[in-house]
Structure 1
Amino acid sequence: MDPLTHALLGATAAQAALGHRLGRQAWLPGALGGLLPDADILIRSTADPLLAIEYHRHFTHAFAFIPVGGVVAASPWLVQRRYRADWRPLLAAATIGCATHGLLDACTNYGTHLLWPFSTLRVAWHWLTTIGPLLTLALLAGLLLAVRRQSRLPAVLSLSFALVYVGVAAWQRERALDLQELIAAARGHPVVRAEMFPSVGNPVVWRSVYQSGTTLYSDRLRVVDSAGSLWKPGSTLELLFAADLPPAAAADARVQRDFARFSYFSSGWTALSDSDASVIGDARYSLSRDSFEPIWGIRFHPGSATPTEWVDQTARNRVPVGELWREIRGTADGYRGLPTAGRVDAVAVARDSGC
């Protein structure tokens, strides 16, 4: 999640829990605790471009790190004599803030090592995008009112809204997965694995991705009631595996290792960019709705001192607000009613087959 939302969630949780003990200052250690785990962005190396993605949302985001993070976040207050009488609530506020970070990140697509060092599983619940304006504004309003009025109630109410919002998003995702299953069945596709990705700032429009054979099928879904739910056929692309690498890349041990690291990072959703076949991208994210333009990926230079190049196109990523709003309203072009089981229209079939 974005740093502002992390800080606000940590601050609001701390103010709600300890505002009666620390007054208006409870939010400060909570905010620092909410931000601290992202200090892992400092772990990087020019000699190893994948080190940053390997350790982002890693040990600093784990449940096991929370007590350590709480102490570190509270230390600016604990080292000052005038705050030592309140060391327990200050430490608790910072720890509460730190505890919110990993859980919030796990609600997104990226993957978070919540269970480190006991498991290497990257936990990703796919309920929220990394930017959620409604959630952020609700937390901000609750925190400001709580501090200004010296009351815990606004903070508690904004946290309650946040929980309801996340709960609705989780419910909507399950409904979207049901629609995805219907679409795949109508196409006659046996599904190897499937995932559902939320769109920015709302629980209505979802990006559906599923694998059938070695092909990924990507569609857009508008999930409302049974009568208003719609779908838009999208693009297809072939998954890329280590065995598909060119001979020069396959012969380079460092390339093979880095491909395995990138594949782990992207949960196996790896494919070549439609516009640049030299880029292996993370197929969970795309700059385009009609083709695969990875937001980030890798490019290999076998035999060189640093054979792996990190390709980052996040600066090009733009949210088409007008089009997204039309999708939410159900007026966007290309959307249609859901297919009946075992039947999908000829246009969708032609598009899926690449005709």
Structure 2
Amino acid sequence: MDSITQAALGATVAGAIAGKKCNAKVLLVGAALGTLPDLDVMLDYGDAVQNTIKHRGFSHSLLVLPPFALLISWLYCRWRPDAFWNLSWVFFLTVSVLVTHTLLDAMTTYGTQLIWPFEGYFELRNVFIIDPLYTLPLLLAIGVALFSKKHGGRWCQSVVLLSTLYLGWGYASQQTIANRVEQNLAAQNLPNQQVLITPTAFNTLLWRVVVMDDGQYWEGLASVLDKDQVIDFVARPLGSWPLEEKPPTLVGLEAFSHNYLNYRVEGDALIVSDLRLGMADNLSFEFVFAEKGSDGQWQLLESTQRFPSERGLDLLGVLWQRLKGDQSIDANLQTMDITYQR
């Protein structure tokens, strides 16, 4: 999720644990801990692909965070011994904030290395990377806690429960769409071996569906509010890797994306795109892997580069209209620019 949401979640979880002891300092510490795992974005792993696939790695691992939380707690208690905030309480608060950060990230489409150093990217895809309906209640609880010493802890506890229920709703909404997708794939004679169902921007009602096929993929939209249960899928070319050997960066990107990749040539550039974030020809994570030389042969770049693309907010009104169940605008939405980066 975005940094504001993670800081707000960290502060609210800390306030909920502190209860009657909730105050501005507790909220500030929680917010700082809530953003701590994302500081790995400051590390440079050498190129654009490595910086993408190694984010949410060691700093998000459920095998690393508990001992790290214990170290932070021990150092705090050595520095600021307190009768109430003893080691066990500080450890519980710290590990709770850090773990809720990484679990929330695992509910987005991006993927989280929950068991680093062991391989594997895990994601539920039941919430978009930015969702105001999730974030705003957290901010409200923080505001109440800052101005109400008596009720701040209770508000934080209530909102933590509410936000958890919202994530549960996102999963239930996704499963409702998944059942509908399964029926549509069978009725339209489309493959069902590799299917992606992920929320569109800022909501858990309108879902994007990607179905992988031989040499192409199918893309469709489905809203919980649709009256017509038929999903209009559009076929798009997948392309293929033109070189005999795959560089290690491409192998890593395949694992990161679970092979939801598209290959295309634009000018003299060979571009590999992650199909999971974005829509149609406006995808969030695209990388230039090779360029054609004067002899017409592909030359791998020493360092992969992000392929620039424009993104805007001007068509969110159309997205809102489709969310409400207007399936007549599906053709326009398949080409609209509504992608956002984390």
Equivalent residues in 2 for 1:120-135, closer than 5 Å: 120-135=119-134
Q: Shift in Å at residue 214 of structure 1? A: 4.0
Q: Shift in Å at residue 141 of structure 1? A: 0.4
**Distance in 2, Cα, partners of 1:319 & 1:139:** 27
* Alpha-carbon distance change, 329 to 206 in structure 1, aligned in 2, over 3 angstroms: same
Q: Shift in Å at residue 178 of structure 1? A: 1.3
2:103 maps to 103
Q: Which amino acid aligns with 1:256?
A: P
Q: Is the 8 A contact 2:3 2:35 kept in 1?
A: yes
SS at match of 1:219: strand
**Distance in 1, Cα, partners of 2:309 & 2:4:** 18
203-212 or 314-323, which deviates more: 314-323
* 1:79-129: CA deviation from partner (whole Å, max 9, x where unpaired): 744769735344432322111111000000111111223x42211001011
* TM-score normalised according to structure 2 size: 0.83
Q: Shift in Å at residue 224 of structure 1? A: 3.1
1:300 maps to 289
142-151 or 195-204, which deviates more: 142-151
Q: Shift in Å at residue 69 of structure 1? A: 4.0
**Distance in 1, Cα, partners of 2:95 & 2:288:** 40
Q: Relative to total residues, which structure has the larger helix share, 1 or 2?
A: 1
SS at match of 2:7: helix
Q: Which amino acid aligns with 1:283?
A: L
1:58 maps to 57
- In the alignment, which of 280, 295, 309 is matched to residue 272 of structure 2? 280
Equivalent residues in 2 for 1:1-355, closer than 5 Å: 1-21=1-21, 23-45=23-45, 47-71=46-70, 80-81=79-80, 86-88=85-87, 89-117=89-117, 119-150=118-149, 151=151, 152-224=153-225, 227=227, 229=229, 231-238=231-238, 240=240, 244-247=241-244, 250=245, 256-273=247-264, 278-286=270-278, 289=279, 291-301=280-290, 306-313=301-308, 316=311, 318=313, 320-331=315-326, 333-335=328-330
Q: Which amino acid aligns with 1:138?
A: P
SS at match of 2:277: coil
SS at match of 1:316: coil
Q: Shift in Å at residue 140 of structure 1? A: 0.5
Q: Shift in Å at residue 175 of structure 1? A: 1.1
Q: Once superposed, what is the RMSD of the aligned Cα atoms?
A: 2.9
* Alpha-carbon distance change, 305 to 178 in structure 1, aligned in 2, over 3 angstroms: closer
Q: Which amino acid aligns with 1:300?
A: F
* Alpha-carbon distance change, 273 to 78 in structure 1, aligned in 2, over 3 angstroms: farther
**Structure 1 residues without counterparts, runs of 5 or longer:** 337-355
Q: Is the 8 A contact 2:271 2:307 kept in 1?
A: no
56-65 or 271-280, which deviates more: 271-280
The share of aligned pairs that are identical, in percent, is: 22
13-22 or 80-89, which deviates more: 80-89
Report how many aligned residue pairs link the two structures: 321
Q: Shift in Å at residue 50 of structure 1? A: 2.8
* Alpha-carbon distance change, 86 to 191 in structure 1, aligned in 2, over 3 angstroms: closer
SS at match of 1:50: helix
* Alpha-carbon distance change, 92 to 28 in structure 1, aligned in 2, over 3 angstroms: farther
Q: Is the 8 A contact 2:16 2:22 kept in 1?
A: no
Q: Which amino acid aligns with 1:292?
A: D
* TM-score normalised according to structure 1 size: 0.80
**Structure 2 residues without counterparts, runs of 5 or longer:** 292-297, 332-342
Misfit runs of 4+, over 4 Å: 71-85, 273-277, 302-306
